[in-house]
């Protein structure tokens, strides 16, 4: 067997392949991937005062404008990814938003002890989500 042949991925068994090819499964995956964003956006929309206070806590001025921009990004980006229409745009917006939250809200390098470690874990999780959003954009582009 050549090395080129051995590096090819094995085909999924029939039932798994059917699931992976299912439109409903793809939508469910996009809903789950965007869950943290649309849940946060809905919570901010439901309690705009809290959303504004959160922006002020992170030093974002003017806090109300940042709250509105965050809600639009979270809900709009999620809707684009979930719908599969212009998913690349939604995934890109959510990815950039997520990357920007690291220095704003999870600056572990400026902290010490357990708090620094927890914020580092959040930052690493955010980076992983960015990777998932990149894959969603790639896969939605291929299906278009």
Span 39-57, pLDDT tens digits: 999 999 999 999 999 999 9
In angstroms, the CA 16 to CA 105 distance is 39
**Average pLDDT value for the chain:** 92
Q: At 112, is the pLDDT very low, low, confident or very high (cuts 50, 70, 90)?
A: very high
- Burial class of residue 90 (count of CB atoms within 10 Å of its CB; 0-12, 13-18, 19+): buried
How large is the angle between the packed helices 23-46 and 14-21, nearest 10 degrees?
50
More confident residue, 12 or 136: 136
Q: What is the pLDDT of residues 60-96, one digit of tens each?
A: 999 999 999 999 999 999 999 999 999 999 999 999 9
How large is the angle between the packed helices 23-46 and 87-105, nearest 10 degrees?
50
In angstroms, the CA 141 to CA 93 distance is 16
């Amino acid at each position: 067997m050549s090395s080129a042949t051995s590096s090819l991925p094995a085909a999924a068994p029939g039932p798994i392949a059917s699931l992976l090819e299912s439109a409903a499964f793809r939508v469910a995956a996009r809903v789950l991937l965007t869950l943290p964003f649309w849940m946060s956006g809905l919570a901010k929309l439901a309690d705009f005062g809290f959303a504004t206070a959160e922006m002020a806590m992170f030093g974002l001025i003017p806090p109300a404008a940042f709250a509105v921009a965050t809600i639009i990004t979270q809900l709009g980006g999620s809707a684009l990814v979930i719908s599969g229409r212009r998913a690349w745009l939604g995934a890109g917006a959510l990815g950039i938003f997520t990357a920007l939250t690291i220095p704003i809200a999870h600056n572990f390098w400026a902290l010490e002890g357990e708090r620094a470690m927890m914020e580092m874990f959040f930052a690493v999780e955010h980076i992983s989500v960015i990777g998932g959003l990149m894959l969603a954009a790639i896969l939605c582009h291929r299906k278009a």
